[in-house]
């Protein structure tokens, strides 16, 4: 067993083993600065010796170590970074991991050798994220359609529940297409790819540790979604009138489907904050909006027949022939945010050589919306793939704290510059 020299007053030393060193130092040091310094030294030494039990003991005994990473950006790979945190300490995760498609020949987006290797790599990181999140905490994870199933498989294998999948539609995608007709004349008009127009955001949740969501929320503050904070405002009075008239149960009427009300069509009231958030988001472009022309869903007559046992307070019965009024509207029924502009991407990076050269910058409004959806009040957002920093900027603007890392020092530099600008503007 290794022994260590513990410095004492007046230049004296005491020889102790590992456990004695941990106990004596953490109990004797009386200032935050000294504690952080000593913990850093201990973890560096013990990590090198692969002493997992002592490392875990340190993290459990003193949260000052991992809390130093809150509201800071760290240049480390995700796996190394996440091992610095104790179990069940963070409130949420919003991240944009690599897709494994070798995008623009970026080393960080390689497929690790193929499908199985990439899923294994992602699963290990997702497993660490699962460990550090509180019970019931949600994660929103970006993916491309081409390898979206890889992402979902990895996170589900790691132990997360798949709760939903949000689709983000956009109109300015550029097809990475090879024109076969330029190579083979008789194949004119044939190509190899479709124009990208959608990205996925997988909604995962760590399993509850309590019997009910309510109990879990009370204990940990996690497990629920911020529905009212993410409602889609009704665009105009005409739309609002139709929205209020319809009471189909999926448009966010504040008193719809409640078992303590005498439910009937037309009794609902349009929620003052707008429509219930859905799993569809678009960028507001002409192409995306064109996919949702002004329309009205059909008025549908009820086919219900009276039953001897029915509960009018449960809303499970209407006399046959009653007309259910339809909804009207267009793409305005869904939350929308444009792709990030050049000005938004580069703000704060004017002094950096090359500016913000990250190839996959996400829209700030989108990331604010996603953070707002899953992060509890005053919560901490984890992003182990910080990139250009849009998620952590969004977290700050929404009043949350953040924890973030990236393996590329260049991207950390960009993220810090952007965070500095957006924190003041």
User: pLDDT tens, 58-92?
Assistant: 666 556 567 778 899 999 999 999 988 888 999 99
- Going by pLDDT thresholds of 50, 70 and 90, the confidence category of residue 303 is very low
| Secondary structure E strands in 379-425 | 380-383, 401-406
Q: Which residues share a beta bridge with 20?
A: none
Assess whether pLDDT exceeds 50 at residue 325.
no
Closest C-alpha among 414, 412, 406, 388 to residue 77: 406
Q: How many helices (H) and strands (E) does the chain have?
A: 14, 15
pLDDT for the residue numbered 227 = 95
Q: Of 399 and 257, which is predicted with more confidence?
A: 399
pLDDT (average), residues 294-304: 47
pLDDT for the residue numbered 109 = 75
DSSP 258-293: -TTS---TT-----TT-BPP-SEEE---HHHHHTS-
State the CB neighbour count (10 A cutoff) for residue 88: 16
Residue 329 contacts residue 295 (beta carbons within 8 Å): yes
| Domains parsed from the chain with CATH numbers | 1-66 (no CATH), 69-229+338-424 (3.40.50.150), 234-276+295-329 (no CATH)
| Residues 15-30: tens digit of each pLDDT | 767 666 666 666 656 5
| Residues 236-284: tens digit of each pLDDT | 665 655 555 554 444 444 444 444 444 444 444 567 777 889 999 988 7
State the CB neighbour count (10 A cutoff) for residue 271: 20
């Amino acid at each position: 067993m290794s022994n260590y020299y513990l410095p004492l007053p007046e230049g004296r030393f005491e020889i102790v083993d590992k456990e004695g060193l941990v106990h004596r130092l953490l109990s004797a040091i009386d200032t935050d600065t000294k504690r952080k310094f000593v913990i850093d030294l201990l973890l560096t030494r013990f990590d090198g010796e692969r002493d997992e039990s002592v490392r875990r003991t340190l993290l459990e005994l003193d949260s000052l170590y991992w809390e130093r990473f809150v509201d800071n950006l760290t240049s480390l790979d995700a796996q190394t970074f996440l091992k610095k945190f104790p179990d069940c300490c963070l409130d949420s995760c919003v991240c944009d991991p690599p897709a494994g498609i070798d995008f623009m020949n970026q080393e960080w987006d390689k497929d690790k050798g193929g499908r199985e290797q990439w899923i294994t790599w992602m699963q290990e990181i997702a497993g660490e994220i699962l460990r550090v999140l509180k019970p019931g905490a949600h994660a929103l994870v970006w993916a491309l359609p081409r390898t979206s199933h890889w992402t979902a498989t990895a996170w589900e294998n790691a132990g997360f529940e798949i709760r939903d999948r949000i689709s983000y539609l956009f109109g300015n995608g550029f097809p990475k297409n090879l024109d076969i007709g330029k190579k083979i004349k008789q194949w004119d008009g044939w190509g190899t790819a479709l124009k990208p127009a959608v990205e996925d955001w997988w909604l995962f949740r760590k399993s509850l540790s309590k019997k009910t969501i309510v109990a879990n929320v009370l204990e940990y503050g996690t497990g629920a979604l911020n529905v009212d904070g993410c409602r889609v405002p009704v665009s105009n009075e005409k739309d609002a009138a139709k929205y209020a008239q319809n009471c189909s149960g999926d448009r966010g009427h504040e008193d719809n489907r409640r078992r303590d009300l005498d439910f009937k069509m037309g009794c609902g009231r349009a929620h003052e904050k707008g429509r219930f958030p859905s799993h569809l988001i678009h960028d507001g472009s002409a192409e995306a909006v064109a996919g949702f022309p002004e329309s009205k869903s059909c008025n549908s007559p009820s086919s219900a027949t009276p039953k001897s046992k029915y509960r009018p307070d449960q809303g499970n019965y209407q006399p046959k022939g009653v007309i259910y009024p339809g909804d009207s509207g267009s793409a305005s029924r869904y939350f929308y945010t444009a792709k990030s502009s050049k000005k938004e991407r580069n703000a704060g990076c004017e002094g950096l050589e090359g500016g913000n050269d990250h190839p996959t910058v996400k829209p700030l409004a989108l990331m604010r919306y996603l953070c707002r959806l899953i992060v509890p009040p005053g919560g901490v957002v984890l992003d182990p793939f910080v990139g250009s920093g849009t998620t952590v900027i969004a977290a700050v603007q929404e009043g949350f704290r953040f924890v973030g890392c990236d393996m590329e020092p260049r991207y950390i530099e960009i993220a810090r510059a952007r965070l500095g600008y957006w924190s003041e503007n």
